[in-house]
Amino acid sequence: MRFEFRLIVILLIVAFPRLAFDLRAQAQEPIAIRMASDFSLSPDGQTLVFRWANELWSTSTLGGNVSRLTNHPAIDAEPRFSPDGKRIAFVSNRSGSNQIYVMDAQGGIPEQKTYHSEGYSLADWFPDGNSVLALASRDHFWRGGNRMIQVDITKRAAEKVLLDDTASNPSLSADGKNILFVREGERWWRKGYQGERSAQIWLLDLTNNTTKELLHEKVECLWPLWMPGGKSFYFAKGTAHGLDLWRYRFATGDQPARQRKVWGFDDDSIAKPAISRNGSTIVFRHLFDTYILRPGKDQHPTKLALSVAADTDLPEDLLRSSTSRAEQVAFSDDGLEIAMSVNGDLWVMDTELKEPIQATRSDAYEESPIFANDGKSLWFSRRQDGQVDLWKLEPKDPSKYWWQQKEFVETRMTESTGSKTNLRFTPNGKHLLFQQGRGTLVAMNLETKETTTMVDGFSEVGYSISPDSQWIAYSSQDDDFNSEIWIMPLDKHSDPVNVSRHPDNDQSPVFSPDGKILAFTGRRSQDESDIYYLYLQEEFDDESSRDRTLDKAIETMKKKRPKQPAAEPKAETNPAENKTPENKTPENKAPENKTDGKDKPVEEKPKTERANDADAKPFRIDFDKIHQ
């Protein structure tokens, strides 16, 4: 027994250190760096600086340790090596806007060099190391305000605008005399785009301030990078699968300009390339990884494995969501409860406590909420797996209010293609109308779940439902892109009728609560839009403004001054006989005092129930000459 006990003790002593070592080894596994960006290479191509986790990092292009250069809660981006490789300029919003900072290439305390409140985007250094090439917007953003400017970093001086026109992706030649830049273009991640909007590469000659278009391929041409000597440059060129790396050689003598493909991937783009000043090394991102290419040496790019130690102080890997507004809002009929779409989820709350409760928690995108007429369900559209459908949400506990619920019951109501937005119930609660796709108005019978196409268009449909649930007024564009107001019966027993008939746009029709008037917005004078209305019954249209005011005045008098009954002749009686006992009514009855059984008077609640929409009386519409 003693031998067995000693053996167990020895095994435990040997096993526990081994186990502890394994756990430490697992805990110290390095963290892989994916989606690195904003690459910059040292002039000799030996060192790579990049942005990751909103900080700047440095590593050898041969692989190895990754060193942290900045450590600040703000965003540090766009590092650029100085021409001598001793300094790094970068952009940071640590002062509140994107300003240019300069620090030692090995790290250290950065020095702020710019102070303009509108900020900067950094492109490159000028050869003398005293100024940088930047992009800045000093005009209204919708005018394409990004301008190439030269910024002195040795002293605070006025910015020098190099070209008074919009530009992007600038690349400065080694001698500082020419700039390659890009104009126009789609989003770079859009694959296969072809057309006149495609990005072009231009050349700006700073000696004579002239520009020349070099590449206009009707496909995307982005991110030009000067090669040493200034006789050629690399750039990214669009294909069906993404962007490939190409080389462009300027025309010389009788030799025309030429270009050839350097490298490309079959599955996606070469993104955001950078080149060293000596031209020996190119770095770029493909999908999630960083690649190095050495022209003239490598037959193909090599993936550069980047990682940091497990104990590196990084932001917590948490999903954080914040918003300052709700995108779409729906109110209950009494206005006491609210449903809203916030960042693709539905929330509900009341209007007093105002503490939102999350109602949906899916990975889908929910929007267009609307309460059913009875307030017992909430309908919405859900975008999931490439399809948009209508869903119904109901409280798990019907005895509690919406904002008191802990769980909800979801029911899928449709399963069809096309987006579904702009949901509205008919006042009688028998149909749900919604816009499907770009411009199709659909009515769903809530009893049978059958759908009927009411309007088949190509643009957004604005519509209103009459109080009797029999008619739909809608605006829709025709083939000439002119929007008119139409009225049609919900059961489609007759064709739609154009009630506006005007060469300018009319939109957003709305029935009045009594169904006698249809109002809409229209453009009748230049670019001015005003509210117009028309009477749907001829007799009301024939009334003058004074007639309607007279009717309103008489109605007001009747409400305020009810007609008094005629006084009856008084019979002669003994005055003593007319006396009534104290605290008694003339009929010798004590006044009634309603209580709740505890000798406390009960306050009668005012009746707030609205008229049943299902009982709304149908009304007619006189279409003859209604548009006049």
Q: What is the pLDDT of residues 574-613, one digit of tens each?
A: 544 444 444 444 444 444 444 444 444 444 434 434 444 5
* Type and span of the H or E element at 179: strand 178-183
Rounded to whole angstroms, the Cα distance separating 65 from 58 reads 8
Q: What is the pLDDT of residue 574?
A: 53
Please state, in angstroms and as integers, the Cα–Cα distance from residue 234 to each residue in 200, 342, 481, following that order: 14, 44, 44
pLDDT digits (tens, 9 = 90+) for 416-425: 888 999 999 9
Q: Would you say 135 and 146 are in contact if contact means Cβ atoms under 8 Å apart? A: yes
Dihedral angle sign, alpha carbons of residues 509, 346, 608, 396: positive
Residue 443, pLDDT > 60, answer yes
Full DSSP string of 534-600:
EESSHHHHHS-HHHHHHHHHHHHHHHHSPPPPPPPPPPP--GGGG---TT--TTS-PPP--B-SSS-
Among residues 319, 327, 354, which one has the least CA distance to residue 338? 354
Across the beta sheet with 387-395, the strand order is 365-371, 378-384, 387-395, 408-412
Q: Which residues 6+ apart lie within 8 Å of 183 measured at CB?
A: 166, 167, 168, 199, 200, 202
pLDDT digits (tens, 9 = 90+) for 332-374: 999 999 999 998 999 999 999 999 999 999 889 999 999 999 9
Q: What is the pLDDT of residue 276?
A: 97
Q: What is the pLDDT of residue 321?
A: 61
The architecture (CATH level 2) of 323-417 comes to 6 Propeller (2.120)
Average pLDDT (26-39) is: 85
More confident position, 268 or 21: 268
Q: What is the pLDDT of residue 142?
A: 56
More confident position, 148 or 624: 148
- % of the chain exceeding 90 in pLDDT: 65
Average pLDDT (454-472) is: 94
436-556+614-628 CATH choice from 1.10.150.120, 2.60.130.10, 3.40.50.10540, 2.120.10.30 = 2.120.10.30
β-pair partners for 528: 525
pLDDT digits (tens, 9 = 90+) for 95-109: 999 999 999 999 999
Q: What is the pLDDT of residue 393?
A: 96
Q: What is the pLDDT of residue 527?
A: 78
Q: What is the pLDDT of residue 526?
A: 74
- % of the chain exceeding 70 in pLDDT: 83
At 298, is the pLDDT very low, low, confident or very high (cuts 50, 70, 90)? confident
More confident position, 31 or 145: 31
Among residues 98, 628, 558, 28, which one has the least CA distance to residue 312? 28
- Comparing 291-305, 363-377, 395-409, 556-570, the range with the smallest average pLDDT is 556-570
CA angle 247, 253, 259 (to 5 degrees): 15
Report the mean per-residue pLDDT for the chain: 86
Average pLDDT (117-130) is: 95
Residue 168, pLDDT > 60, answer yes
At 322, is the pLDDT very low, low, confident or very high (cuts 50, 70, 90)? low
Please state, in angstroms and as integers, the Cα–Cα distance from residue 223 to each residue in 82, 121, 255, 278, 389, following that order: 19, 15, 25, 18, 41
β-pair partners for 473: 464, 487
Q: What is the pLDDT of residue 504?
A: 86
At 501, is the pLDDT very low, low, confident or very high (cuts 50, 70, 90)? confident
At 568, is the pLDDT very low, low, confident or very high (cuts 50, 70, 90)? low
- Which single residue is written with the structure tokens 């293609």? 417
Give the rounded distance of the alpha carbon of 283 from its chain centre.
32
Rounded to whole angstroms, the Cα distance separating 210 from 220 reads 23
Identify the DSSP state of 165: S
323-417 shares the fold of 31-308: yes
Domain 31-308 is in which class? mainly beta
Q: Which of 78-82, 163-167, 333-337 is modeled with the greatest confidence?
A: 78-82
Full DSSP string of 263-291:
E--SSS--EEEEE-TTS--EEEEETTEEE
CA angle 402, 406, 408 (to 5 degrees): 70
Domain boundaries, the chain: 31-308, 323-417, 436-556+614-628
Residue 156, pLDDT > 60, answer yes
Residue 622, pLDDT > 70, answer yes
